[in-house]
Chains A and B, each alone.
Chain A
Amino acid sequence: MTALYVIALLLCAICGAPLFVIIGGIALALFYAVGIDAQAVIIEMYRLASAPMLVAIPLFTFAGFLLAESSSPKRLVNLYRAIFGWMPGGLAIVSFIACAFFTAFTGASGVTIIALGGLLYPILTSEQYSEKFSLGLLTTSGSLGLLFPPSLPLILFAIVAQVNVDALFLAGIVPGTLLIVLLSIYSIYTGRKLGIPRTPFHLRTILKALREAIWIIPLPFIVLVGIYGGFFTASEAAAITVIYVLIVEVFIYRDISITRDIPRIVRDSMILVGGVLMILGCALGLTNYMVDEQIPMKAIELMRTCISSRIMFLALLNVFLLIVGCLMDIFSATIVVVPLILPIAKEFGVDPIHLGIIFLTNLEIGYSTPPVGMNLFISSFRFKKPIPQLYRASLPFLGVLFIALIIITYVPDLSLWLVQLFGR
């Protein structure tokens, strides 16, 4: 009976029911089946108010939405253009870095494509990049940068997997850079092949662009120096970021009006936060049930019989996560899947921090993978292009990202050496 009920709920999930309803419903059913009062689900959910790290989620998201709504994307793009425009494929590199910067702050929620896509697409096409290349670039870049601190998925993984968020922040930097470097190499090659004219290098343009973007540049450094200099925790860094961004955007640049924009931005960003935390809250009950019933242990037993080596486990993990990534958004995937794979990964000797980076890289790729990657839909909506066209456009970029994924998966030191260097 319980099994039927759970299957019915899963069917509803595939048809588009809100995921927190499905997860909450399944938790209720399972607790009921083993004769535990439904209050247990709520007691677990109340743990939302006991994790200090959770404070960072609404704050960083709000800061990210504020940045995306201002003209900061434009200022940054201008600056990066002045710096990298002379290189072959320079504008593409500019796009990668700008997208990564914003995704790190907005947390890969589709905001990057909406905020930066409209800005970069006309520039890319006017500089004679093909439509296909430009669309593919912007679609796949929508989730680029979620390995960089202080991205929401990193924080969420740290909370769910109970690893140190400071360590995870450090771990993402080198793999994240690898993704950008490999994509840049591909763009330089394409830029050469298409014979795209380059803009000459002018120190004066750089200085002018620098002056205009001077207040945004310090942002990542405030976060990093603050946390690793021991001045504040990651959650406190989030509050400082909000105050800094508010002062810069409202009083210095005057891009954002307190009365006109702030209420709307609070609403939009907190709808996302509420959605993510509701799934997390409901999933806490479900995870508790699974631990009580020793389901991860049973999964380990099962895995041991079919998988013999670490390499094989990692390969299967990648395939599994790529599928998850194109079906689910990154937040619910993290909340639901991580508690299941974490003990298995430990069993095969995969460091939880390294697992986090593999996990998020996979989901980042899954985001733009046909048929149902979310970036494809957001892009299709933003650029008014049919989805099949976006499939074709994003394929070469996905190829490059896939190579990076293999490197990140099989070279753990890429993720771990900064962590060891700082002794976190």
Chain B
Amino acid sequence: MKEDAHHSHPIVTIATFFDRTFAWIVATLLIVMLLSMTGLVAGQVVLRNIFNSGIAWADIASRHMVLWIAFLGAMLATRNRQHIAIDALTRLIPRRARNSVRIFLDLVACGVCLLLARAALDFVLMERAAQTELFIGIPAWIAQAIIPFGFAMMALEYAIGVGLDIYRIVTNVPGHIAGRGRL
């Protein structure tokens, strides 16, 4: 897949650049989140068992980090088309037929993610209006914003996937397998 980026349309080249940068940012955030969550939770154990104290907001913070990890991980899973699916049947059908099925399924996925993103946006806007505070002055809606953002990005990933698959099929990239994701 990498080679065809060189002699393809400038739009594809630009998209590739943004895709890689974005994936890098998501992966870096994941590492930061995962390691700080580990430190926070383990820190609680040490504080409680040795110093008999604790951080009041550690629990709520680590639980929201799980929410962020879930969506960041899901964004990467979408990009690599590694979401959990029942794909036993599609392995059995020939490549061309499978390509059209996969493009269609990506379209469905894109639509559902958009609907979820819109519902999540309404939810976050409501929470922002309610001005709930999560901990130490962090408003709840900021932590929740990952939900609409995550779904919007997943919808975008699926849309890009569909566009690229169609582009490659039209330009006759030999042996192209649709639904691989990844630029």
User: For the complex, what is the distance from the CA of A175 to the CA of B39, rounded to whole Å?
Assistant: 34
Is B90 in the interface zone, CB < 8 Å from A?
yes
Q: In the bound complex, do residue A275 and residue B83 qualify as a contact, i.e. CB atoms below 8 Å apart?
A: yes
A393: interface (CB < 8 Å): no
The secondary-structure label for the interface of chain B is: helix
Q: Which of A272, A278, A327, A331 contacts B86 (CB 8 A)?
A: A327
Assuming the contacts A14-B89, A231-B49, asked whether A266 and B30 have C-beta atoms less than 8 A apart, the reply is yes
**A-B residue pairs, 6 tightest by C-beta:** A274-B73, A277-B70, A38-B119, A18-B83, A372-B88, A239-B41
Residue from the set A45, A50, A279 with the largest chain B CB neighbour count within 10 Å: A45
Q: Judge whether A311 is part of the interface by a CB distance below 8 angstroms.
A: no
The reply to whether A28 and B101 contact each other, CB–CB distance below 8 Å, is no
Q: Which has the most chain B C-beta neighbours within 10 Å: A18, A28, A39, A243?
A: A18
In the complex, residue of chain B having the shortest beta-carbon distance to the beta carbon of A276: B84
Please choose the segment from A52-60, A179-187, A394-402 that sits at the chain B interface, where 4 or more of its residues have CB less than 8 A away.
A52-60
In the assembled complex, the CB of A402 is this many whole angstroms from the nearest CB of chain B, namely 21
Q: Which of A42, A57, A275 contacts B66 (CB 8 A)?
A: A57
Most buried by A among B42, B44, B71, B89: B42
Q: Which of A42, A49, A267 contacts B116 (CB 8 A)?
A: A42
Does B5 lie at the interface of the complex (its beta carbon under 8 Å from any beta carbon of A)? Answer: no
Is A19 positioned at the interface, with any CB of B under 8 Å from its CB? Answer: yes
Q: Which residues of B contact A270 (CB under 8 A)?
A: 30, 34, 69, 72-73, 76
11 new A-B pairs (CB below 8 Å) besides A42-B119, A277-B70? Answer: A16-B101, A24-B116, A28-B119, A45-B147, A46-B144, A263-B31, A274-B71, A277-B66, A277-B69, A327-B88, A328-B86
Contact A242 B123 (CB under 8 A): no
Note all chain B residues with C-beta closer than 8 A to A41.
Answer: 116, 119
Chain B neighbourhood of A239, CB < 8 A: 37-42, 45
* Mask of A211-245 contacts with B, CB within 8 angstroms, 1/0: 00000000000000000000110011011101100
Residues of B contacting A276 in the complex (Cβ-Cβ under 8 angstroms): 84
Check A266/B34 contact, CB under 8 A, given A16-B101, A271-B73, A278-B70: yes
If A16-B87, A275-B74, A275-B83 touch, whether A50 touches B27 (CB-CB below 8 Å) is no
B168 on the interface (CB 8 Å rule)?
no
> Is the pair A273, B70 in contact by a Cβ cutoff of 8 Å?
yes
Listed by A's residue number, 21 A-B pairs whose Cβ atoms lie within 8 Å are A13-B85, A15-B101, A16-B101, A16-B105, A18-B84, A18-B109, A19-B84, A20-B74, A39-B122, A49-B63, A54-B66, A59-B38, A231-B45, A235-B62, A238-B41, A242-B42, A263-B28, A267-B27, A273-B73, A274-B70, A329-B84
Given A20-B83, A24-B116, A277 contacting B63 (CB threshold 8 A): no
A22–B102 Cα distance when bound, in Å, is 14
Cα separation A38 to B147 with both chains bound (whole Å):
14
Point out the residue from B80, B88, B108, B126 that lies within 8 Å of A271, measured CB to CB.
B80
Which of chain A's residues have a CB closer than 8 A to the CB of B88?
327, 371-372, 377
Partner of B45, one of A9, A236, A331: A236
- B147 to chain A minimum Cβ distance, whole angstroms, is 6
Check B63 against A50 for contact (C-beta < 8 Å): yes
Contact A16 B102, beta carbon cutoff 8 Å:
yes
In contact, B119 and A55 (Cβ under 8 angstroms): no
What residues of chain A lie closer than 8 Å to B73, measured between beta carbons?
58, 270-275, 277
User: Which residue of chain A has its CB nearest to the CB of B27?
Assistant: A267
Residue of A nearest to B122 (CB): A39
A 265-291 to B, binary, CB cutoff 8 A, 1 in contact else 0: 011001111111111011000000000
Q: Is B82 an interface residue when CB atoms closer than 8 A count as contact?
A: yes
Q: Are B66 and A38 in contact (CB under 8 A)?
A: no
Q: Report the Cα distance A181→B87, complex, angstroms.
A: 33
Nearest-neighbour CB distance to chain B for A7, whole angstroms, equals 13
In the assembled complex, which residues on chain B have CB atoms less than 8 Å from the CB atom of A14?
86, 89
**B99: shortest Cβ distance to chain A, in Å?**
12
Q: CA–CA, A297 to B96, complex, Å?
A: 45
Considering the complex, give the chain B residue whose CB is closest to the CB of A232. B45
